[in-house]
A and B are shown apart, each in its own frame.
Chain A
Amino acid sequence: MRDLKHMIEFEELLRSANNEMVKAACAEGRLALAYNCSHIPEVLLDVPGCFGVRLRAPGCVSPDMATYYMTNRSCPYSKSILERAFEGGYNFIAALLGQECCTTMNRMEQYFDYCELIPNEKFFVSCLDMPINRSEWHEGYYERQLRQKVVEPLERVYGVDFSDAALTAAIEQHNELCRVINAMGELRKAENPVITGYEFAVMQLCSLTCPKDKLLPLLRETLEELKTREPEPKPWFRARVMVVGSEIDDPEFTKMLEMAGAIVVADRYCFGTMPGREEIEVGEGETPLHAIARNYLWNNHCPRAMGPQALIERKNYVYQKAKEFGAEGLIVESMKFCEYWGYERAQDAMWLTEGYEVPGTLPVCQIERDYTTAAAGQLRTRFQAFVESLEIKRIQGAI
Chain B
Amino acid sequence: MKKRPFKERYPTLKSFLKGDGPCHYIGDRYIEGTNIYDRREWRGVVDTAYDFGWWLATWLKMGAFAAKNPVRILRAFWRYRWLSAYLAAPHMVDKWIAGDRGLMLRCDRHALNAMISDTVDILWTMIRADRKLGKTKYTDKTVAFDYTLPRHIMLGFPGWDSVNINQQCAFMLPLMIKQMGAYYIDQSVSVGIPQDMCTLPLVEVGVAVEHEYPDLGNFWLCTNNPCDANMMDNAVMYRELSDNGRKAVHAFVTPLMYDDPTTKELGVHEVCEAIKFVEEQTGEKFNWDAFRDGIERVNQVTREELERWDIYATTNTIGMNGVCQGFFSIYFYQQSANKHFERESAKILKLFNKGVEKGINTIPYARHRAVMWSCGSTYNCQVANWLYTCWGIAPIINMDSLTGHNLVDTEDMDTMLSDVADWYGRTPMRTHTVGGNRHILQVFETARKFNCDMIVMYDDIGCKGMAGCQGLIEEEFRRHSDEFKICWLPHALMDYRTVPPAEARKAVNDYMRTVLGEEPLDPTLEVFDDDAGW
Contact = CB atoms under 8 A, between A and B. Distances in A.
Interface of A: 68-71, 73-75, 78, 100-104, 106-108, 110-111, 114, 127, 129, 131-133, 137, 141, 144-145, 148-149, 303-304, 306-308, 311, 334, 336-337, 339-340, 342-347, 349-350, 356-357, 366, 368
Interface string B275-290: 0000000000000000
Contacts of A342: 193-194, 197, 232
B257 A343 contact: no
Q: Which 10 A-B residue pairs are closest in the complex by CB-CB distance?
A: A69-B471, A107-B468, A306-B251, A346-B192, A343-B232, A100-B256, A103-B465, A307-B251, A71-B467, A339-B228
B470 interface: yes
Nearest to A68: B471
A381 to B, nearest CB: 19
Contacts of B229: 339, 343
A356 B238 CA distance: 12
Nearest to B470: A71
Contacts of B196: 73, 336-337
Contacts of B239: 356
Interface stretch (B151-159, B332-340, B397-405, B434-442): B434-442
B465 A104 contact: yes
Interface of A is mostly: helix
B198 interface: yes
A108 B198 CA distance: 19
B222 A306 contact: yes
B224 interface: yes
B235 A133 contact: no
Contacts of B238: 308, 311
B251 A357 contact: no
Nearest to A356: B239
Nearest to B232: A343
B132 interface: no
A308 B242 contact: yes
A129 B468 contact: no
Given A132-B224, A308-B245, A342-B193, A148 B262 contact: yes
B468 A104 contact: yes
B236 A346 contact: yes
A343 B206 CA distance: 13
Contacts of A131: 253, 266
Contact of A347 (B231, B235, B255, B470): B235
B297 interface: no
B416 interface: no
Contacts of B465: 103-104, 107
B234 interface: yes
Q: Which of B228, B253, B468, B470 gathers the greatest number of chain A CB atoms within 10 Å?
A: B468
B461 A103 contact: no
Contacts of B236: 343, 346-347
A73 B198 CA distance: 11
A355 B191 CA distance: 16
A231 to B, nearest CB: 37
Contacts of B467: 70-71, 73-74, 104
B49 interface: no
A149 B193 CA distance: 35
B240 to A, nearest CB: 12
Contact of B228 (A101, A145, A149): A101
A100 B192 contact: no
Given A73-B462, A107-B437, 7 more contacts: A69-B471, A73-B467, A100-B434, A149-B262, A307-B249, A339-B198, A343-B205
Contact of B191 (A101, A307, A346, A356): A346
A132 B224 CA distance: 8
B469 A107 contact: yes
B250 interface: yes
22 contacts: A69-B469, A69-B470, A69-B472, A73-B461, A74-B468, A100-B256, A101-B228, A107-B465, A114-B437, A129-B255, A129-B257, A129-B260, A133-B270, A144-B262, A145-B263, A304-B232, A306-B231, A308-B242, A336-B196, A339-B464, A343-B233, A356-B239
Nearest to B263: A129
A133 B245 contact: no
A104 B260 contact: no
A107 B262 CA distance: 20
Contacts of B253: 131-133, 306
Contact of B235 (A108, A149, A344): A344
A359 to B, nearest CB: 15
B261 to A, nearest CB: 9
Nearest to B192: A346
B235 to A, nearest CB: 6
